[in-house]
């Protein structure tokens, strides 16, 4: 079975632009390229899992999401980074676009996107990780049975019943100080 790192998109791999719909506004996290290259060198599959409630809310149409996604994939590809897949959830129970206005099993904190990726790509959750900047990312990862890394973006959450395996405000630290370090010491899992 394969091992993977699942990434939230906005606020983790790229700067959170609050319902980003313009491909020209994509700004990579400064450590994203180095972090992703290190994971690729250790044979991790890279998979993006992103909630996109702006579609359900009517803030931007689906084609604008795909335009942003294409720009992001191109930026990574030009740096030699290949994502095996990306999964997105366009739903929100309070959405204004009827077809997307619903509860679902894919919207994080539900683990649906991660579980589908595990099935689609023969991924072993016990050897895999979820990195995200929201507690919903951590909850989804915990529910899917992967190790979780809360990418704090310099925000501090003082009290929470949600427990990630690792906290950091730096993607390189997440990769080197937790993922690769623990890979060398499987007893830490």
What token pair was written down for 92?
Answer: 């929100």
Measured distance CA(139)–CA(52) in Å, rounded: 17
Strands (E) across 112-160 are located at 129-132, 147-151
Cα(7)–Cα(87) distance, rounded to whole angstroms? 10
Helix (H, G, I), strand (E, B) or coil at 172: helix
Residues 170/31, Cβ–Cβ less than 8 Å: yes
Q: What CA–CA distance (Å, rounded) separates 133 from 100?
A: 24
Which 3 state secondary structure label does DSSP give 110?
A: coil
Decide if 166 contacts 151 (C-beta within 8 A): no
Residues assigned a catalytic role: 8, 10
């Amino acid at each position: 079975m394969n091992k993977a790192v699942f990434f939230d998109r906005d606020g983790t791999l790229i700067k959170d632009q609050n319902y980003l719909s313009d491909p020209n506004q994509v700004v990579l996290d400064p450590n994203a390229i180095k972090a992703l290259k290190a994971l690729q060198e250790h044979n991790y599959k890279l998979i993006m899992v992103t909630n996109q409630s702006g579609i359900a809310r009517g803030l931007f149409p689906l084609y604008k999401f795909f335009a942003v996604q294409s720009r992001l994939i191109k930026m990574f590809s030009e740096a030699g980074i290949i994502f095996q897949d990306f999964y997105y959830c366009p739903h929100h129970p309070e959405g204004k676009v009827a077809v997307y206005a619903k509860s679902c099993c894919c919207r994080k904190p539900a683990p649906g996107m991660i579980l589908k990726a595990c099935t689609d790509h023969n991924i072993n959750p016990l050897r895999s990780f979820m990195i995200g900047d929201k507690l919903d990312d951590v909850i989804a990862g915990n529910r899917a049975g992967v190790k979780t890394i809360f990418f704090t973006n310099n925000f501090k959450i003082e009290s929470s019943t949600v427990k990630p395996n690792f906290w950091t405000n730096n993607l390189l630290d997440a990769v080197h100080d937790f993922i690769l370090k623990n890979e060398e010491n499987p007893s830490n899992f």
